Structure 1
Amino acid sequence: MPNHIDRPQLFGHPKGLFYLFFAEMWERFSFYGMRALLVLYMTKQLIYSDEMSFGIFAAYMSLVYFTPLIGGLVADHYLGYRKSIVLGGILMAMGHFFLAIEHPIFFYGSLALLIVGNGFFKPNISTFVGTLYDQDDKRRDAGFTIFYMGINIGGFLAPLVCAWIAELYGWHYGFTLAGIGMLAGLFTFTRGLKTDTFGEEGLPPKNAGLALKFAGISREKIIYLASFASIPLFALVIKYNEIEHYIVWVATFFIIGAMIYIYRSVSGKAKTQLLVTAYFTILMSLFWAIFEQAGSSLTLFADRNVALVGMNAAQTNSINSFFIIALAIPFSWMWTKLSVKKMNPNSAIKAGLGLVLLGVGFLVFALGGHQADEFAKTPMFYLILGYFILTVGELLISPIGLSKMTELSPPKYLAFIMGVFFSSSFYGHFFAGKIAKLTAVKGDANYFAQGYFGDLTHLISGLDPTTTFEKGDAFQQLYSYASVYAGFGAITLAIGVVAILLSPIIKRWMAGVH
């Protein structure tokens, strides 16, 4: 591995980190700005049902994290990180701008452009961060936490600004603003390239053969053409999202097959370390399946059953990012200080604690049922407190997971393993859509929670199906949300405890990586 200590430094970290920080910040501004509007746009403007909207949203959000598997492979073997990030940024900017045109072809086509573009952008910019540090650099976790803060500055500002613009001038102005944010991220990244901040990092592999021609077309152009050609396919999958489970099976067999191949091609401690990357990916899939009710059912919950003060439902998507911004630097400082004192918990324990806190956060959302008013509106305090708790959980598992992937992965397959890690969001969003659909009321009292979970819902929220059914539609909807959040919150908490108990075994498998 090259030594990076002589690279330009800023605030104790490689200067390139901050170019990637701002590029990712603006890209996430575009992504979260659109995400905050999407479900509300479908239910209020396009007049789609809750179930249809959740199906489209889940298909879009899961596929956004499926394509990084392909984008990571293409970057590893052909384009390199730089070209992949630029290609992804261009496709995503086009997607945001086309979403401003209200027509089914542009609606589904725009989502498909965002899916393909994110596949090239997301895994490779995160992997790029890892290349800025030596393998044993103690600043690595802190650097990824700072990078993670950049993600969430964009995630905080976007729902506030895009939702405000959308409410004031119209939905399509909000989507356009998201597109402008993507262009800003692309400009920031290319500025870093022009100033030679990254040295030799991120260039195409020397044996990529991008200039080789097939039928008179270079390999590089074939990749670009194939990327655009895949857009109609993804648009159809989003429109007919009930077939998405076939993609889940195909992706699963592909990932398992690829991981077996990589496992057989490495030796020694790299084998057990590869198993740990799979373990963390599974935990992250569980985490995102629950966490990503934000943007779908939690946004509608805030719209229908929370007494909001000072913001609308779309803008509540910024609460999580606000807490990450507030906590990222303290957490970064804390990990560094604890490492110096040799008291920093290992990553396996942090992952388990992250799941525990995620579960507690969703129990808090349900807890607000005790103080619901006559309109079935719960105090906003519970929404904010729940988001705070699950944000602390997120900071324990997600940025640390990103960091560990760059340490535990075989260097030859680094971007692909990062893509596998991001597949946790693919699986998470797929199952998050299934969970969100459980919150939809279908005109009767057939709720998710029965038996033990019904008792748990009553204990946590103070609500029961008989009483809420008698009080009308608003209370039926509140009970539906509370039952799902209480039930899955308890399940997640229990899984987190099991993960903590397994942490000594995982620590041994990590073979020296903390």
Structure 2
Amino acid sequence: ALSLYGWYTGMVYIMAIPGGIRADKIWGQKNAVMIGGFFIILGHAFLTMPSVWTFWAGLTCIVLGVGSLKPNISTLVGGLYAEGDIRRDKGFTIFYIGINIGALLSPLLVGYIGENIGWRIAFGLAGVGMFFGQIIYFMGLKHLKGIGEARSSNAAHVKVDHSKPLTKIEKDRVVVLLISFLIIIIFWGAFEQAGGLMNIYAKEKVDRIFFDWEMPASWLQSANPFFIIIFGTLVANFWMKRSKLKKEVSAIYKMAIGTMIMGSGFLMMNAASIQFENTGTSAVYWLLLAYLLHTIGELCASPVALSFITKLAPVKYASIMMGIYFAATGLGNILAGQLGALSEQAGEFQIFSGIFIFTTIFGLLLLTLLKKLKTMTHGAEDDRVEETA
């Protein structure tokens, strides 16, 4: 089950590559988001039906839909800011908080209905939510004039020579982006234990009984988005203040620190495993502490990664590079599924320990390479707008 979960979530993200290519070459980002939303709604409609073929059709539509929507809506956010605008990182954090408001509600509503009434009704509810999201997006398109237009209309706003070869600076920046994609694979390979191994651990080994009432294990999935909403602006403001003090705030630095903070969350899971071995159950606060550290790490690494891509990617490959970013996230999800499956032979304690050790070493290695990688960005992260978002 963990391997299947990893492959499904992985394919959702890998399809962001063709989604980005179609947007850059044909549709434009605005149209790609609308088309992706339609397929997501259609996929959830299929999942409300009882047959096997509609189940697979539903998953396929969702994979295609998310692949079209996810990279392109992120590119649209990047298009709201001029090159060098220091508000971009904070803007992506606000965008990230908005995503996680939905992520907070979905396990509570859909998880409760799925576990207590039926999953077909729960999937239908998710589709209804996406439908209203499409309406809100359509109503807001007037605020995106000149951003994310289709290829045929793009010339009226931004002239992009798609036949011109990459410059030396652009090639160096692409190399840095590829290294950042490796960071993303490792980060999400560890982080996504939350939806797989840690979720199963919560269901089977964590004491979730409060005053004779057992909390659904799926509700713990709301801890991460809840912490993002609470701490998102705090973390963003921390980095902005650090920037004003002329201290290190480069994207690679943030991703390295975020990876190590996230990895430290698995020490909490080790404590939970030890407690289970000694008492036969684990306290829920160990998982909450793990999710908190994972969230702080995510807030350091993930929003800035989205912003980083829009800063470094050549204009003509903007959505394609965003698609590769999400594909890297997908590979991380596949890796997460494989790591989770290993716990059946190796045991949770060994998996949690291994992830902590590896992420710490990897983060320290990135810090040693930081100066060289910053040089290869050729000033793409230089601040030019001294305003707040």
Shared topology, TM-score over 0.5?
A: yes
Query: Matches of residues 134-283 of structure 1 in structure 2 within 5 Å?
Result: 134-193=82-141, 196-206=142-152, 265-283=165-183
| Count of residues in Structure 1 that have an aligned counterpart in Structure 2 | 370
Distance 1:100 1:376, change over 3 A: farther
- Aligned counterpart, 1:317: 221
Distance (Å, rounded) in 1 between the aligned partners of 2:51 and 2:352: 35
- Where in structure 2 are there 5+ consecutive unaligned residues? 156-161, 382-389
Match of 1:417 among 317, 321, 345: 321
SS of residue in 2 equivalent to 1:372: helix
- SS of equivalent residue, structure 1 residue 159: helix
CA distance in 1, matches of 2:337, 2:31: 33
Q: CA deviation at 1:203?
A: 1.4
Q: Which residue of 2 aligns with 1:107?
A: 55
CA contact under 8 A between 2:185 and 2:331: conserved in structure 1? yes
Deviation, 1:397, is: 0.8
1:504 to 358, 371, 380: 371
Contact 1:142 1:335 in 2 (8 A): no
Match of 2:258 in 1: 354
Separation of aligned partners in 1, 2:264 and 2:372: 25
Letter in 2 for 1:201: I
The yes-or-no answer on 1:426 pairing with 2:374 is no
Q: For residue 291 of structure 2, what is the aligned residue in structure 1?
A: 387
Q: For residue 58 of structure 1, what is the amino acid of its counterpart?
A: G
Q: 1:396 aligns with which of 288, 300, 304?
A: 300
Partner letter of residue 493 of structure 1? T
Change (3 A) 1:309 1:325: farther
Superposed CA RMSD in Å reads 1.8
Higher relative contact order at CA 8 Å, sep ≥6: structure 1 or structure 2?
2
Supply the distance in 1 between the matched residues of 2:351 and 2:86 (Cα, whole angstroms): 41
The aligned runs of 1:278-289 (5 Å cut-off) are 278-289=178-189
TM-score of the superposition, structure 2-length normalised? 0.91
3-state SS of paired residue (1:77): helix
Counterpart Cα distance in 2 of 1:265 and 1:437:
44
- 1:349 counterpart letter in structure 2: Y
Contact 2:273 2:348 in 1 (8 A): no
* 1:57 maps to 2:9: no
- What residue number does 2:386 align with? none
Whichever residue aligns with residue 155 of structure 1, its letter is A
Counterpart AA for 1:174: A
Letter in 1 for 2:355: F
1:51-82 deviations in Å (ceiling 9; x for gaps) = xx223212211110111100100000100011
- Secondary structure of the 1:102 match is coil
Matched, 1:493 2:360: yes
Q: Which residue of 2 aligns with 1:370?
A: 274
Q: Which moved more, 1:490-499 or 1:74-83?
A: 490-499
- The change in CA–CA distance for 1:290 and 1:159 in structure 2 (over 3 A counts) is same
Q: Residue 439 of structure 1 aligns to a residue in which SS? A: helix
Distance 2:295 2:154 in 1: 41
> Which amino acid is the alignment partner of residue 285 of structure 2?
F
CA contact (8 A) 2:3 2:340 kept: no
Unaligned segments of structure 1, at least 5 residues: 1-52, 210-261, 441-446, 449-479
- Relative to 1, partners in 2 of residues 1:68 and 1:409: Cα closer, same or farther, differing over 3 Å? same
1:438 match: secondary structure = helix
Match of 1:69 among 2, 17, 38: 17
Report Cα offsets for 1:440-459 as digits up to 9, x if no partner. 3xxxxxx32xxxxxxxxxxx
Separation (CA, whole Å) in 1 of partners of 2:203 and 2:169: 50
Aligned to 1:301: 201
Spell out the pairing of 1:339-350 with structure 2 (5 A cutoff): 339-350=243-254
In 2, the alpha carbon distance for the partners of 1:489 and 1:181 equals 37
Alpha-carbon distance in 2 for matches of 1:319, 1:372? 21
| CA 1:409–1:309: 2 relative to 1, 3 Å | farther
1:106 and 1:375 map into 2 onto residues whose CA distance is 44
The one-letter code of the counterpart of 1:189 is Y
